[in-house]
Amino acid sequence: MIRGDPLNRTIRAAVCAVATAGLALGLSSCSEAVDQVDKAVDETYQVTYEVTGKNVDSIEFHGGGGKAMEPKVESVSKPELPWKKTVTLRGIMPAAVMPVAADPEGAQVTCKIIHKGKVLEEQSADGLVTAGGCTAESPIGR
């Protein structure tokens, strides 16, 4: 990040205002709050997506590209189950995996998001048309 960038200065000023108001998670100074935000934007983390079940037609997931609030969505058609993928995400980008199944005999789907051995999110569904998924908040800055 270029510290002289006008947008960056605006963001830093806004963070300082929040810190000054005492809302920056109890940090002791404006500089400390700004440094934490800068670090969180650039820090990376890994998650593993797992999908199990039957008759899953496709899986869409945040694969690490794009922007924090507009992540690039990748997809796999007709995945072999159980399916597992580890990705590296950045900053506040949420982890998300969305299996989709449409089967007249019924589909079953379970998805998980795992970070450092801990399950952040797990969902299951079954039925004629099953679309859903798992979305987890970034562990950065917690």
According to DSSP, residue 69 is labeled T
**pLDDT over 60 at 20, yes or no:** no
**pLDDT over 80 at 131, yes or no:** no
pTM of the model: 0.71
pLDDT category at 37 given cuts 50, 70, 90 is low
**pLDDT over 70 at 29, yes or no:** no
Query: Do 64 and 87 touch, CB atoms closer than 8 A?
Result: yes
